[in-house]
Chains A and B, each alone.
Chain A
Amino acid sequence: MDGSCCGPGYASPSEAVKAPQEKLLYSIAIYTGTGIQKPDYLATIDVDPQSSNYSKVIHRLEMPGIGDELHHMGWNACSSCHGDEKMSRKYLLVPGVRSNNIYVVDTASNPIAPCLHKIVDGAEIKTKTNLSGPHTVHCLGTEIIISFLGDAKGEAPGGYLHLNKDFEIVGRWENSMGDIPFSYDFWYQPRHNVMVSSEWAAPNTFMPGFDLEEVGHLKYGRRLHIWDFEKKKPIETMYLGEDGLIPLEVKFMHDPNSSHGFCGAALSANVIHFWKSSQDKWEWEKIIDVDNEPHPDWPIPIPGVMSALLVSMDDKYLYINNWLHGDMRQYNISDPHNPVLTGQVWMGGLLGKAPIVNGVKVTGGPQMYQLSLDGKRMYVTTSLFSTWDNQFYPEIRTKGGVMFMIDCDVENGGMQINKDFVVDFGKEPNGPSRCHESRYPGGDCTSDIWL
């Protein structure tokens, strides 16, 4: 129940900002690739400061088998069907990157203890649509689309799975992949009839881990793609080159009239800003460039690895992470061409600036984050992807992941790690697990799109 009117979500971003404070959050946690022979799970975390269980995992929904590598997730419905009283934000779709299964989790019947509603079988997805390596889930009114990074054999470019509201496979969503070489994340802005997609790599390239040489062999992405959203086909490519090596997360502003959006190029550690010019041309520019940092043990300076990016619901702040450096940053983007750094905090990372935070030794760095609708509380986790964690932060095997909360000053800018909140996934009952993406039952800053 997160809306005032009829359907799910909120009438507008400014309504969403006024939503009640979140009390629960769902975060996936993995055992895949950790050496612990247990299923990955969806953790419910109590984030109600009045509760005696505040800052604790209060429920764990285990998946039916091992080896999924849960990663990102998305809702069955968002503000894009706010006017549809037959819809509600009830189901969380949780894909397994390695198993190809999509778990549909009912979070409404008992929000504290979600239960498995349906499994869209990974083998069936392969047979019917020739897709594997699921990633981003978005709903489109009553329909759902999920980006996949590979074909059934794990080769690029993958494509998009289309599910109906009962989670049945309709088929491929897109009419054409054009000459897109790779897939990853996507976001759409219907009033401009546009979707933008980014590029990681083929599942067979990124799943086993990161070989730097494969970037030079063009096995990793460096482009953004502009789609004709209604025609479901790509119409234009933005070649980012060295400025945009491994462009991962893509977000538009929440204001449905805005054509401005952002992408974090992970390996270049740059933020790319894109927008539609007054001549109706799509343009892009690099607006943030995080310098590589020297390290005594490294032959070359360490790149930030900007693996995620998030825009606050009021479109005032952009948040980025540098997973290998260990910092989270807040930029004021009131002028999206000229972002202003307004906040920065450190947790973990390889530069040794904050090895211990709130009493927990951090292995990994800030990696995935979710922001409350009012923009004041950001929940941050530290694991990227099992094989990549194992390469850069091998101690994560015994230490597990950790979740922190950052208090964000929405008036004057600024970030501070909250001293009272820490969820140490190193202490989970089945052994150290690794937490990744989080969602709130009432909607959040990476779920809702307005038509």
Chain B
Amino acid sequence: MNKITIANRNNTIFEVKGTKPLLLELRSQGLDLPYGCQYGGCITCAAKLIHGEVDQRSQVALNNRQINDGYVVLCVARAKTDCTFEIGVESHDKLYRNPFIDPLSPHELKSNIAILKDKINESP
């Protein structure tokens, strides 16, 4: 069992098995969470991971900048350790950015098209 602390809900703690995605586990225990596609493709369910580790390998919605900023899509993420999250739109301060004013570097794109830093630096 892992302890999931929701920092912006008075540090409420939920215990999860880690066998199902966090969205399912937490909603079944009564936590009201946003969601949309429920397969990791749309970021409606994004939350910010403050501490801990999750497995969200099957997500396809987040770009690498969002992942580096701690975002997790709860509909596919499973807890690997105890975790602390901020949930809901209050946690979305860095999730959305104007793409013209604040462009992504090649390594910050979604993982299927990102060019990793060491690759860029490699001379051809």
Contacts and interface: CB of A to CB of B under 8 A. Distances in A.
Task: Answer whether A and B are interacting partners.
Answer: yes
25 contacts: A32-B34, A32-B44, A35-B34, A35-B88, A66-B35, A67-B36, A69-B36, A100-B37, A153-B41, A203-B37, A203-B41, A207-B61, A208-B41, A208-B42, A208-B43, A211-B99, A213-B99, A213-B103, A213-B109, A213-B113, A299-B100, A386-B44, A387-B43, A387-B96, A392-B98
Contacts of A154: 37, 39, 41-42, 60
Contacts of B98: 391-392
Contacts of B113: 213-214, 217, 219
A21 B104 CA distance: 49
Interface string A62-93: 00001111000000000000000000000000
Interface string B76-111: 000000000000111010011111110110100110
Contacts of A219: 113
B47 interface: no
Contacts of A32: 34, 36, 44
Contact of A37 (B32, B38, B63): B32
Interface size class of B (residues with CB under 8 A): 20 to 34
A324 to B, nearest CB: 9
Nearest to A391: B96
B74 interface: no
A35 B100 CA distance: 24
B37 A34 contact: no
Contacts of A302: 100
Contact of B109 (A208, A209, A217): A217
B62 interface: yes
A33 B44 contact: yes
Contact of B100 (A37, A300, A397): A300
Contacts, number: 104
Given A204-B61, A211-B110, A37 B34 contact: yes
A239 interface: no
Which residue among B44, B63, B89, B113 has the maximum number of chain A CB atoms within 10 Å of its CB? B44
Contact of A33 (B36, B39, B61, B110): B36
Nearest first, the 4 closest Cβ-Cβ pairs linking A and B are A98-B36, A35-B89, A207-B42, A154-B41
Tell me the interface secondary structure of chain A in the complex: loop
A153 B61 contact: no
A213 B104 contact: yes
Interface of B: 32, 34-39, 41-44, 60-63, 88-90, 92, 95-101, 103-104, 106, 109-110, 113
A64 to B, nearest CB: 14
A300 B34 CA distance: 34
A212 B43 contact: no
A377 B44 CA distance: 35
Nearest to A99: B36
A207 B37 CA distance: 9
Given A35-B89, A391-B96, A392-B98, A67 B44 contact: yes
B100 A98 contact: no
A390 B63 CA distance: 16
Nearest to A389: B96
Contacts of A204: 41, 60-61
A393 to B, nearest CB: 10
Interface in A152-170: 153-154
Nearest to B65: A211
A220 to B, nearest CB: 12
B5 to A, nearest CB: 20
A391 B37 contact: no
Contacts of A69: 36, 44
Contacts of A241: none
A353 to B, nearest CB: 19
B41 A391 contact: no
Given A67-B36, A207-B36, A208-B42, A397 B97 contact: no
Nearest to B62: A208
A396 B6 CA distance: 26
Contacts of A212: 99-100, 103-104
A37 B87 CA distance: 12
Contact of B34 (A67, A203, A394): A67
Given A67-B44, A98-B44, A208-B61, A394 B96 contact: yes
A142 B41 CA distance: 34
Contacts of A213: 99, 103-104, 106, 109, 113
A34 B37 CA distance: 15
Nearest to B41: A154
B31 to A, nearest CB: 11
A443 to B, nearest CB: 31
